[in-house]
């Protein structure tokens, strides 16, 4: 997509809300009025309301603030991922994909007016303290989050390393709100970890898609592929991966594909439609793969999983993904402002839109520890968000997973995985052990069949 303004294509569940920017100037008003009589009538009513409030409201009002809040309501009503970005929010959005920052380490969104945790980020203060998916944050340092914009909440929870912040959460099943005193830490940008489960069988865990994720993954794969025993199989872990940069997801899928579409983007504007295709790799990777997914796998991770599934390049196991199949662009505006809005839906190579539906694994494997019953953990999904887009324009979403009743397996990772990966701990992860068993079985069958 070409434009005179700088664009950042971003697919992520870190939904940074916004306070709004006054764009209605005299010239803008005249331009809209000339194009549409209905628009003119609407803006006239808007102007009349502003004037009445200015003159008659019981207390003095800030006109600019009123207009900003009005636009905020308008944009946020489009879908959960569209917003105006004041300078502070625009900077926070850029930090999310580049560099490191001080904070507590949670992915949040706004659900029915409540600040809700999508998931804690592995190894961060929030994760260590026991913050859980679907926790509702009602206070930050004693200040109520009701009516607080997402970017404001993010800003309050971020801060210098070593400083404290207290968040108060309401949790399903708990009688009273819970206070968590957290010491902020540097939230690292490391997004790829790897280990050798046993000779010839590698494991790679991608936590999110940032600027250097593809480069880091290539480094990890090269290390696994150059071990003494040739690589016979790979487990690619995309569980609880909330997404990130579109271009990184395309490049990562391309590492394992040599031809065909990876993902297509279709928007109302032809300029916002594009097909991303795989290129022939200089380093062929033809070993069998198992990809782990769950309800926390969203957007960019769904692109990778969907591409590998459609091309029959990998077997997907786990539970149905989050279902965020929309594309946002971020436009920079004068004076440090920005606007983030949805421009397209994305489709897997076979033409599937997974918006508000998700990707169904080839084999459903719910999380549990060996010897225990399968866990059923409630987790927020795209279809639970207010004003979410449907899979197709003007077409109601159809449930494609009859077993999905707002519950989806979401693992609870052992805390010993906070640092370097521990192979024994990995093997105690039921879904990882199942993935390894599948790869080992494939090798046995291959030998049996000659």
Which pLDDT tens digit goes with each residue over 193-221?
Answer: 999 999 999 999 998 898 889 999 999 99
* pLDDT at site 347: 95
Say whether pLDDT at 385 is over 90: no
pLDDT at 248: 95
Residues labelled catalytic: 299, 310, 324
CB 97 within 8 A of CB 245: yes
For 263-278, what is each residue's pLDDT tens digit? Answer: 999 998 888 899 999 9
pTM of the prediction? 0.71
**pLDDT at res. 371:** 52
Q: Which long-range contacts (CB under 8 A, 24 or more apart) does 42-47 make?
A: 46/70
Mean pLDDT of 51-77: 88
CA distance 54 to 51: 5
Return the half-sphere exposure (C-beta side, CA atoms, 13 A cut-off) of residue 301.
31
pLDDT at 161 over 80: yes
SS3 (DSSP) at 342 = strand
Residue 52 confidence class, pLDDT cut points 50, 70, 90? very high
> Region 372-386: what's the mean pLDDT?
60
Distance from C-alpha of 253 to C-alpha of 177, rounded to nearest angstrom = 42
The pLDDT-based confidence of 98 (bands split at 50, 70, 90) is low
What integer pLDDT is reported at residue 399 of this predicted model? 44
Residue 224 clears pLDDT 80, i.e. is over it: yes
The answer on pLDDT for 414 being more than 90 is no
Q: Which domains does the chain have, with CATH numbers?
A: 20-85 (no CATH), 100-187 (2.30.42.10), 192-328+344-378+409-448 (3.90.226.10)
Mean pLDDT of the chain: 81
The mean pLDDT of 395-405, rounded to a whole number, is 45
Q: What is the DSSP letter of 439?
A: H
- The reported pLDDT for the residue numbered 386 is 65
């Amino acid at each position: 997509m070409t434009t005179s303004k700088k664009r950042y294509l971003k697919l992520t569940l870190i939904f940074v809300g916004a306070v709004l920017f006054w764009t209605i100037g005299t010239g803008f008003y005249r331009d809209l009025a000339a194009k549409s009589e209905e628009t003119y009538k609407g803006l006239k009513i808007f102007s009349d309301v502003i004037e009445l409030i200015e003159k008659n409201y019981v207390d003095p009002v800030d006109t600019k603030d009123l207009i900003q809040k009005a636009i905020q309501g308008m944009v946020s009503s489009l879908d959960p991922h569209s917003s105006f970005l004041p300078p502070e929010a625009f900077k926070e959005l850029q930090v999310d994909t580049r560099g490191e920052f001080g904070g507590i380490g949670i992915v949040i969104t706004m659900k029915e007016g409540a600040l809700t945790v999508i998931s804690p980020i592995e190894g961060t203060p929030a994760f260590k303290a026991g913050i859980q998916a679907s926790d509702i944050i009602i206070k930050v340092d004693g200040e109520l989050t009701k009516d607080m914009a997402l970017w404001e909440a993010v800003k309050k929870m971020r801060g210098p390393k070593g400083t404290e912040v207290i968040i108060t959460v309401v949790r399903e099943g708990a009688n009273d709100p819970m206070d968590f005193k957290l010491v902020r830490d540097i939230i690292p940008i490391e997004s790829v970890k790897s280990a050798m489960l046993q000779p010839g069988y590698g494991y790679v865990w991608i936590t999110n898609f940032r600027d250097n994720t593809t480069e880091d993954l290539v480094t990890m794969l090269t290390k696994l592929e150059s071990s003494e025993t040739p690589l016979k199989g790979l487990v690619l872990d995309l569980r609880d991966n909330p997404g990130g940069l579109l271009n990184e997801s395309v490049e990562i899928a391309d590492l394992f594909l040599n031809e065909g579409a990876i993902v297509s983007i279709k928007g109302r504007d032809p300029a916002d439609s594009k097909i991303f295709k795989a290129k022939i790799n200089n380093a062929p990777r033809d070993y069998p793969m198992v990809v782990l997914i769950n309800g926390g796998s969203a957007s960019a991770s769904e692109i990778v999983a969907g591409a590998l599934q459609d091309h029959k390049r990998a077997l997907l196991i786990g539970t149905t993904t989050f279902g965020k199949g929309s594309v946002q662009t971020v436009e920079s505006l004068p004076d440090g402002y920005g606007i983030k809005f949805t421009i397209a839906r994305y489709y897997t190579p076979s033409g599937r839109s997974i918006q508000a539906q998700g990707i169904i694994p080839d084999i459903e494997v719910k999380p549990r520890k060996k010897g225990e019953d399968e866990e059923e953990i409630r987790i927020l999904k795209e279809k639970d968000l207010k004003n979410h887009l449907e899979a197709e324009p003007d077409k109601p979403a159809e449930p494609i997973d009859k077993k999905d009743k707002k519950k989806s397996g979401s693992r609870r990772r052992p805390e010993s995985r906070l640092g370097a990966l521990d192979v024994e701990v990995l093997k105690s992860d039921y879904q990882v052990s199942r993935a390894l068993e599948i790869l080992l079985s494939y090798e046995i069958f291959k030998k049996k069949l000659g």
